[in-house]
Structure 1
Amino acid sequence: MKTTVKELRLILTVDNLDELIAFYRDTIGLETSKEWREEEGNGIILDAGRASLELIDAKHAARIDQIEVGQRVSGPVRLALRVAEPIATATETLLDGGATSVAAPTTAPWSEVSRVKAPDGMQITLFATSTLAD
């Protein structure tokens, strides 16, 4: 028998919560599912719609970095967000919202892509198309 998973949630522990809420909610456009401000701690759950878990080995991670950035730069965790806007437009929106550029938009074998770094240091790949159905 196997477990039936109903939701995938990535949890980031951060020092600059308000700045990152502004970036992920207000700049990227993730919608608030739940938010709390308590003496015991603060947090927010931002809904990204469909979630998936992509598992790759170090060799494939190096290949992706080479294609998207030109060299190995990502750590063990990188976010990838499929966006509705053209990649250049979405990239500029994130840069205006506090991200820094890791690599300019380019065409990978699987999609148009761009790589930015969020204010918390998280690398984010923006991509246009997916093999997953909407």
Structure 2
Amino acid sequence: MEATEHPVRQLRVVVEAEDHDTAVHFFRDVLGMPELAAFAEGGDDRVAILDAGRATLELASPAHKRAIDAVEADGAVSPHIRLAFEVDDSAAATDRLEAAGAHVVARPVMTPWRSLNARLDAPAGLQITLFQETETAEERTARLGFGTDAGRDRPTGG
């Protein structure tokens, strides 16, 4: 496979929301994720697919997860899976989501990786991070300790 090929076309995170209407309102109308599609089979059988822009999968070691929790939420332990949304203004987005019923775990803080991150408990039992980038990926990866795994020694499977 060539390096430019991507066999995965989309990352879709599926969340069961007991209060579907509240969750849709929060993420679609307040956070601002446009609805791409919605389907209903009748009764309570409903789904809304919201556009989150570009999706990435962040795989963190337990040590890095603890480091993120220490920086981003003053050590408050995050769940095994947490959603992170890039926003233009993390402080304004935090205030907007709090007004819509989210519980603020931690207000925006400047991280060592130069983003302003806030942590909130959101509808559907999700903990989320709002992050605002303050430098480009090129600027970040040029700094000591922020490169890619390509040049690092790492264990092999087997």
1:102 to 101, 105, 111: 105
- Asked if 1:116 corresponds to 2:120, the answer is yes
Greater RCO structure (CA 8 Å; 6+ sep): 1
Q: Could you tell me how far 1:71 is from its partner in structure 2?
A: 1.2
Task: Map Cα deviations across residues 86-134 of structure 1 (whole Å, 9 max, x no partner).
Answer: 22111101111111100121111121111111022311111111638xx
Name the structure 2 match of 1:59: 63
Q: Could you tell me how far 1:27 is from its partner in structure 2?
A: 0.5
Name the structure 2 match of 1:131: 137
Matches within 5 A, 1:39-58: 39=42, 41-58=45-62
CA–CA distance in structure 2, aligned partners of residues 3 and 105 of structure 1: 34
CA–CA distance in structure 1, aligned partners of residues 30 and 42 of structure 2: 27
Is contact 1:62–1:72 with CA below 8 Å preserved after alignment?
A: no
2:94 to 91, 101, 107: 91
Q: Could you tell me how far 1:39 is from its partner in structure 2?
A: 2.6
Runs (4+) of structure 1 exceeding 2 A deviation are none
CA–CA distance in structure 2, aligned partners of residues 64 and 76 of structure 1: 13
2:32 is matched by which residue type in structure 1?
G
1:28 to 31, 40, 64: 31
Is contact 2:104–2:121 with CA below 8 Å preserved after alignment?
A: yes
Q: Could you tell me how far 1:54 is from its partner in structure 2?
A: 0.6
Find the structure with the greater CA-based Rg: 2
Q: Where do 5+ consecutive residues of structure 2 fail to align?
A: 139-158
CA RMSD, Structure 1 to Structure 2 (Å): 1.8
Structure number with higher helix proportion: 2
TM-score of the two chains, using structure 1 as the length reference: 0.90
Q: Could you tell me how far 1:3 is from its partner in structure 2?
A: 7.1
1:18 to 18, 21, 31: 21
TM-score of the two chains, using structure 2 as the length reference: 0.77
Please give the secondary structure, in 1, of the residue aligned with 2:28: helix
Name the structure 1 match of 2:11: 8
Q: Where do 5+ consecutive residues of structure 1 fail to align?
A: none
Is contact 2:16–2:124 with CA below 8 Å preserved after alignment?
A: no
